[in-house]
Amino acid sequence: MRDISERSLTEAAIETFDDAESPRAQEVLQALVHHLHAFVREVEPSDAEWAEGIAFLTRTGHLCQGDRQEFILLSDILGVTSLTDLINHRLPVGSTENSVLGPFFVERRPVFEAGADISGGVPGDPLFASMRVLDGQGRPIAGAAVDIWHSDGNGGYDVLMDEVEGTAMRGLFHADDLGRVWFRSILPASYPVPMDGTGGEILRAGRRSAVRPAHLHVLVNAPGYERLTTMLFAEGDPHLDTDPVFGVKSSLVRRFDTRTGVTTPDGSVIAGEIHVIEYDFVLAAEPDVAAA
């Protein structure tokens, strides 16, 4: 490997991975070099620009501490998180579509009974959610584990709120024999992704919106079915078409209706006016189960 030229360098760098430790390592590393070189050949960065690129990545790394993971934010706003999600969840037609998990899921969340108020005392516009978990034939999936988490009316999550002890606006439910889950909480609101790091630098440079449309996060697990990670978005939110992390799908946009005298699945009546969201989640069977 001598007398490397601008023309021969890429192939030479790719060949250095011909004896990589595994076929997958070889494939990934050679593709990485191939595409990085193609990027540099297209952009032709000056020495100063290349140094700024290194400095940008260094700043990104320094921002990653504790709950702050700036590389995931970069992946989100460049569409890589959603692309990976789409590739890994090519679901059958009729199944509820996936969306990104986001940074605010917490493993240690309370388990609630049907009908519970999960707001944790955080003030806001009251919300009633009524959901079902179904299979591809429309049959209920009893016992499905349904996680919910969302922001308050200012777009804030409990993990970032000093006034919240423990958790709020999140919880785990288990579907009843009819696949039903229902609960009360407060309306979520749109909120910006963090703008004080390198993700913010990219969004400002692109003159892009930082604001995610209002949503509920939902995670559904049931034995024999593909895990569903998704969100429900509020119809009419002005940020639906400029979601900075590319998470919005039309099938996940729902009206958060305002109703009065809502009757819950257990027959109790909610006094006064409340926002209501209803949704049926359809899970895809795991491939080996579907083939059986």
Binding residues for Fe ion, rule: CB under 5 A, are 102
Question: Do 259 and 276 form a contact (C-beta atoms < 8 A)?
Answer: yes
Q: How far is the CB of 34 from Fe ion (least distance, A)?
A: 35
- 225 backbone dihedrals φ, ψ, rounded to 5°: -125, 150
Of the two residues 112 and 233, which places its CB atom closer to Fe ion in the complex? Answer: 233
What 3-state class would DSSP assign to 251? helix
Nearer to Fe ion (CB atom), residue 59 or residue 208: 208
Q: What angle do CA 257, 262, 263 make, to 5 degrees?
A: 135
Token representation of residue 260: 């009065």
Compute the least distance from the CB of residue 289 to Fe ion, in Å.
31
Which is closer to Fe ion, CB of 103 or CB of 115? Answer: 103
Which one, 102 or 171, has the nearer CB to Fe ion? 102
Minimum Å distance from CB 80 to Fe ion?
Answer: 18
Q: Which residue is nearest to Fe ion (CB)?
A: 102
Please give the full DSSP string across 5-68, using - where no structure is assigned.
-TTTHHHHHHHTTTT-SSHHHHHHHHHHHHHHHHHHHHH---HHHHHHHHHHHHHHHHH-BTTB
Question: For the chain, how many helices (H) and strands (E)?
Answer: 7, 11
Minimum CB distance to Fe ion, residue 278 (Å) = 20
Query: Which residues face 220 on adjacent strands?
Result: 146, 228
The nearest distance, CB 148 to Fe ion, in angstroms, is: 11
> 102 or 244, CB closer to Fe ion?
102
DSSP for 131-196, written as a single string? EEEE-TTS-B-TT-EEEEEE--TTS--GGG-TT-SS--SEEEEE--TTSEEEEEEE----EEPP-S
Which of residues 191 and 281 has its CB atom nearest to Fe ion in the complex?
Answer: 191
Least CB distance from residue 68 to Fe ion, whole Å? 16
The count of residues in the chain is 292
In the complex, what is the shortest distance from the CB of residue 223 to Fe ion, in angstroms, rounded to a whole number?
27
Alpha-carbon dihedral of residues 231, 232, 235, 238, nearest 10 degrees? -20
Query: Is 102 or 179 the residue whose CB approaches Fe ion more closely?
Result: 102
